[in-house]
């Protein structure tokens, strides 16, 4: 029987790490992710786990230690936010390039400058092409569940890639919600133990991260790209198995009232809850609107997104991060690309919203749905790259 609890998102992630029973956690504090290693270090101090907790001098060192631990055959994880993730940048590529299944709790926060400790997705979106699988969490329950599933995904022999589990800083990381926890023994049975095919401690000589000259580098890059493609099936298989265990079913994305939707919003993380609320209000008035909540951003579910949006007339993709490309945000770029080959494409616009923790209100989503209504009525997309919630705009 599931254990009913009330936990913040950070504490839920720490509990998941405890139940996974990590071999190593290396961490450095940064708001708003600090609580994750803080809670977990207490589990270590109280003897609930045998994890080696390494308090390092920077986030760069934290990821370095996790990579080394995983290369030695250990199960390793850490947590960070914003500038801490940016300081890990070099090591993110090392982790994916050496194919070590490190897991990382990213508590999304805006990047400086100016300095800002509140939520947007500029940190993880900046790392979207570093070879890490990325899964996003609407609420505390999803953050907990995703963290448990991430271990199985990362360590699968057809994947062997690191995984980021992202949730919104303060909005879910510090908010307390009702949550259902699995019993320790069920998590242990689900995640199993890490059985690497190679290890620095295996007795068989291996090189980790050596110089890769032109005769070999391209092939290794190709293998990593293929692993990302192959991970989609593994992700779905793990989601299905977890659903049978818990009754909580997950997919690459969630379709909310999308069956007959003519207008749709694509969004991820906690803002999806507000979008669903506005969707319900408009549905009550007879308007055919829907929400597509993206969960797995890497690998990007291209074919599945295209199919889900193929019958929609107008789509607004919401980005809580700027791309500074003058063309739109990162989620928009991928969604629009996914729909390019459709015989009948929806008209697609982009909204940048909520940067630096700016409140995202129902009226903002109502503005977006109204803009889509105008597009459907006139047939003209108008300006594609837009902002909502900016003073004076």
List all residues 6 or more positions away from 237 whose beta carbon is below 8 Å from its beta carbon.
none
Q: What is the mean pLDDT of the chain?
A: 97
Q: Are 317 and 272 in contact (CB under 8 A)?
A: no
Could you tell me which of 374, 320, 319, 328 has the C-alpha nearest to residue 347? 374
The tens digit of pLDDT for each residue in 77-87 reads: 999 999 999 99
Q: Give me the pLDDT at residue 2, please.
A: 84
The tens digit of pLDDT for each residue in 350-389 reads: 999 999 999 999 999 999 999 999 999 999 999 999 999 9
pLDDT-based confidence at 1, cuts 50/70/90? low
**pTM for this model (two decimals):** 0.97
Q: Tell me what the mean pLDDT of segment 55-64 comes to.
A: 98
Sign of CA dihedral 107, 113, 115, 120: negative
Q: Give me the pLDDT at residue 175, please.
A: 98
Q: Give me the pLDDT at residue 209, please.
A: 87
Could you tell me which of 366, 142, 126, 358 has the C-alpha nearest to residue 248? 142
- Distance CA(379)–CA(268), nearest Å, equals 27
Could you tell me which of 106, 116, 46, 39 has the C-alpha nearest to residue 79? 106
61 has pLDDT over 70:
yes
Cα-Cα-Cα-Cα torsion 192, 196, 201, 205, nearest 10 degrees, comes to 170
Q: Are 13 and 108 in contact (CB under 8 A)?
A: no
203 has pLDDT over 90:
no
Q: Provide the pairing of β-strand 314-319 with 253-256.
A: unpaired
List all residues 6 or more positions away from 215 whose beta carbon is below 8 Å from its beta carbon.
none
Complete DSSP assignment for 290-324: EEEEE-EEES--HHHHHHHHTT-SEEEEEESS---
Q: Give me the pLDDT at residue 261, please.
A: 98
Q: Give me the pLDDT at residue 69, please.
A: 97
292 has pLDDT over 90:
yes
Could you tell me which of 311, 381, 320, 310 has the C-alpha nearest to residue 354? 320
- Distance CA(16)–CA(244), nearest Å, equals 18
107 has pLDDT over 90:
yes
The tens digit of pLDDT for each residue in 126-175 reads: 999 999 999 999 999 999 999 999 999 999 999 999 999 999 999 999 99
Complete DSSP assignment for 234-266: HHHHHHHHHHHHHS----SEEEES-TT-SEEEE
- Distance CA(393)–CA(387), nearest Å, equals 8
- Distance CA(85)–CA(121), nearest Å, equals 12
284 has pLDDT over 80:
yes
- Give me the domains of the chain, ranges plus CATH numbers: 3-246 (3.40.50.970), 253-388 (3.40.50.920)
205 has pLDDT over 90:
no
Q: Give me the pLDDT at residue 190, please.
A: 98
Q: Tell me what the mean pLDDT of segment 295-318 comes to.
A: 98
| Burial class of residue 204, CB neighbours in 10 A (0-12, 13-18, 19+) | exposed
The tens digit of pLDDT for each residue in 207-257 reads: 888 899 999 999 999 999 999 999 999 999 999 999 999 999 999 999 999
Q: Tell me what the mean pLDDT of segment 70-76 comes to.
A: 97
The tens digit of pLDDT for each residue in 169-195 reads: 999 999 999 999 999 999 999 999 999
Q: Give me the pLDDT at residue 204, please.
A: 85
């Amino acid at each position: 029987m599931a254990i009913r609890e009330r936990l913040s998102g950070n504490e839920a992630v720490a509990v998941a790490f405890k139940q996974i029973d990590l071999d190593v956690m290396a961490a450095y504090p940064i708001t708003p992710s600090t609580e994750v290693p803080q809670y977990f270090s207490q589990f270590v101090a109280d003897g609930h786990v045998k994890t080696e907790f390494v308090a390092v001098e920077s986030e760069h060192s934290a990821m370095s230690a996790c990579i080394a631990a995983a290369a030695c055959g250990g199960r390793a994880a850490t947590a960070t936010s914003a500038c801490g993730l940016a300081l890990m940048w070099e090591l993110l590529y090392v982790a994916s390039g050496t194919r070590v299944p490190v897991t990382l709790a990213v508590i999304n926060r805006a990047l400086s400058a100016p300095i800002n400790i509140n939520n947007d997705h500029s940190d993880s979106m900046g790392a979207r092409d570093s070879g890490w699988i990325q899964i996003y969490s609407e609420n505390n329950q999803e953050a907990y569940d995703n963290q448990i599933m991430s271990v199985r995904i990362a360590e699968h022999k057809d994947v062997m890639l690191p995984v980021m589990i992202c949730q919104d800083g303060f909005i879910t990381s510090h908010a307390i919600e009702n949550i259902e926890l699995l019993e320790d023994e069920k998590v242990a049975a689900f995640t199993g133990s890490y059985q690497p095919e190679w290890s620095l401690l295996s007795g068989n000589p291996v090189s980790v991260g050596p110089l890769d000259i032109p005769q070999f580098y391209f092939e290794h890059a190709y293998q990593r790209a293929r692993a990302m493609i192959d991970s989609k099936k593994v992700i779905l298989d793990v989601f299905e198995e977890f659903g049978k265990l818990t009754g909580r079913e997950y997919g690459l994305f969630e379709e909310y009232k999308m069956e007959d939707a003519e207008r749709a919003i694509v969004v991820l993380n906690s803002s999806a809850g507000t979008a669903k609320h506005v969707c319900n209000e408009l549905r009550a008035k007879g308007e055919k609107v829907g929400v597509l909540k993206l969960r797995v951003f890497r690998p990007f579910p291209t074919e599945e997104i295209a199919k889900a949006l193929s019958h929609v007339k107008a789509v607004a993709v919401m980005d809580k991060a700027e791309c500074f490309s003058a063309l739109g945000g990162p989620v928009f770029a991928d969604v629009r690309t996914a729909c390019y080959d459709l015989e009948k494409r929806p008209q697609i616009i982009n909204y940048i919203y909520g940067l630096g923790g700016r409140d995202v209100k129902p009226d903002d989503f109502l503005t977006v749905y109204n803009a889509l209504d105008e597009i459907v009525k006139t047939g003209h997309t108008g300006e594609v790259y837009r902002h909502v919630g900016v003073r004076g705009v």
